[in-house]
A and B are shown apart, each in its own frame.
Chain A
Amino acid sequence: MSILLENHIVELLQERNDKAISLLYEHYGDTLYGVAYKVVRDEELAQDVVQESFVKIWKKADSYDPTKAKLFTWLFRITRNTAIDKLRSANTKSDKEIQMDVSDVYKLGTEGINPDLMDVQDNLDKLDLKYQVVLEALFFQGMTQQEASDELDIPLGTIKSRLKIGLRELKKLYGTSMLLIYLISCL
């Protein structure tokens, strides 16, 4: 995402121009839908989550502070929290129908992965599984580090270090390809 486009969207959001929503959807819709799906593991629920998240984004536009977080970080936080809340209320509504299956954390299936992003998926596969599991548990499953440690039966210290190393490894994997994407988007 180019800084210019990001700034433009933020401006539109704060002017309460609904073009902002259209632009946000075009640029982040797929990613946020993926995040929502990763958490709730149900397409219908994930769509509800995305819809609710966009309404929250629209309503809370005034509270976004660009000096504190990048636009995507803010969007991610809203979507992730909405998804976790949704999953919790869905779980209390029908405990049996939708259950957060802990064993899913280990399987990193290719369900619903966008073919356009297959090269990204290839890169993801390059990331050691042990890091992927920790990142997913923390980023998508709504677990605290302690919970992840309990669920995955990995010591807390290891969770902490795998989170750090996993994120660093990602940067190595994407350092070059992100630069390319950035250059292409600037052209």
Chain B
Amino acid sequence: MKEKIKIFLETDLLEKYLLGTTSQEETLQVERYIAMYPEVRTTYNELQDNLEVFAKMHSMKTPDGLKERIQNRIKSENTGRKRFFRYAIAASFTALLFAGASYFFWNQNQSLQEENLIVNTKIQNLEENMRIQLEDVRNQFIVLNNPKTKRLNVKGNSKAKELKAVAYINPVKKLSYINVSKLPNLPENQCYQMWAEVNGQMLNLGVIQEATDSEKLMALPYAENAVGYITIEPTGGNTSPTVENIVANISY
């Protein structure tokens, strides 16, 4: 171990380290030796003392004004630093503000996109509804305007004498409609329901609501020798017609 320290001290690494001219690797090596071996540490401290002595031998009186110049430079360094911090704070504040604004706009954009989607869906639904209704009206017009269309007056039986309806049947276009123009009032828990017997099968055509449907034509499925029925059923409609409550039938 002693030999190792002797070899180290014989190199000029410690002297180079003293002057700060060692490479990074050498610096680490020297610092390790100084930390590990008291002899090396003592030698290094002696070298430092000697350097100070040697440097002091060459002292020269500094010229007047140099101290003030240095102090002014340091002061301007400090204000420069302060100014830098002031700019840094301003910059961070701006960045923060920008981030906040970005988030706000992003959020707004997001909700606008959602709203846009909802509106688009609504428009699509409306278009679809209009298309269906137009189709319906067009078909009604074709049927009503066709010279081959037969007009049938429908009257209620004894259970609903006031019931009046008009059915339009067109065997050429195979379309038929019924317009229920007058329905006698029913208790609140009952309603009128429309049925059609086509090729031996009973089809549910839905509940007739007088207020809205009085001016509206209801489409009937077309078939040769079909029979339409109107029955009184509990509110909300029934799955199969109640035969004893038939108030009108239309043969076409």
B70 CB–A CB distance under 8 Å: yes
Interface pair A117/B50, CB less than 8 Å apart: no
Q: Please, which residues of chain A bring their CB within 8 A of the CB of B146?
A: none
- Among B45, B51, B61, B66, the residue within 8 A (CB) of A114 is B61
Interface pair B74/A33, CB less than 8 Å apart: no
**Known pairs A22-B71, A30-B62, A167-B47; A81 contacts B20 (CB<8 A):** yes
Report the contact-size class of chain B (Cβ under 8 Å from the partner). 35 or more
Cα–Cα, bound, A140→B52 (Å)? 13
Which chain B residues in 101-120 approach chain A with CB under 8 Å?
none
Q: Please, which residues of chain A bring their CB within 8 A of the CB of B19?
A: 77, 80, 138-139
Q: Which residue of B lies closest to A177 (CB)?
A: B53
**Known pairs A50-B66, A76-B51, A178-B49; A35 contacts B73 (CB<8 A):** no
Interface pair A145/B75, CB less than 8 Å apart: no
B69 CB–A CB distance under 8 Å: yes
State the majority secondary structure of interface residues on A: helix
Interface pair B74/A55, CB less than 8 Å apart: yes
- Among B51, B57, B77, the residue within 8 A (CB) of A55 is B77
Per-residue 0/1 for A47-69: is the Cβ within 8 Å of any B Cβ (1 yes, 0 no)?
A: 10011001100110000000011
Interface pair B12/A170, CB less than 8 Å apart: no
B235 CB–A CB distance under 8 Å: no
Q: Which residue of B lies closest to A70 (CB)?
A: B48
Cα–Cα, bound, A123→B50 (Å)? 13
Which chain A residues in 161-187 approach chain B with CB under 8 Å?
163-164, 167-168, 170-171, 174, 178
Per-residue 0/1 for A120-145: is the Cβ within 8 Å of any B Cβ (1 yes, 0 no)?
A: 11011000000000010011100011
Interface pair B66/A58, CB less than 8 Å apart: no
Interface pair B66/A47, CB less than 8 Å apart: yes
Min CB distance, A1 to chain B, in Å?
A: 8
**Known pairs A21-B71, A167-B47; A51 contacts B66 (CB<8 A):** yes
Q: Please, which residues of chain A bring their CB within 8 A of the CB of B77?
A: 55, 58-59
Residues of A bordering B, CB below 8 Å: 1, 16, 18, 21-22, 25, 29-31, 33-35, 37-38, 43, 46-47, 50-51, 54-55, 58-59, 68-70, 72-73, 76-77, 80-81, 112-114, 117, 120-121, 123-124, 135, 138-140, 144-145, 160, 163-164, 167-168, 170-171, 174, 178
17 contacts between A and B (CB under 8 A): A31-B52, A31-B56, A31-B58, A33-B62, A43-B63, A50-B66, A55-B70, A55-B74, A72-B52, A121-B57, A135-B54, A139-B19, A139-B51, A140-B58, A145-B12, A145-B16, A170-B50
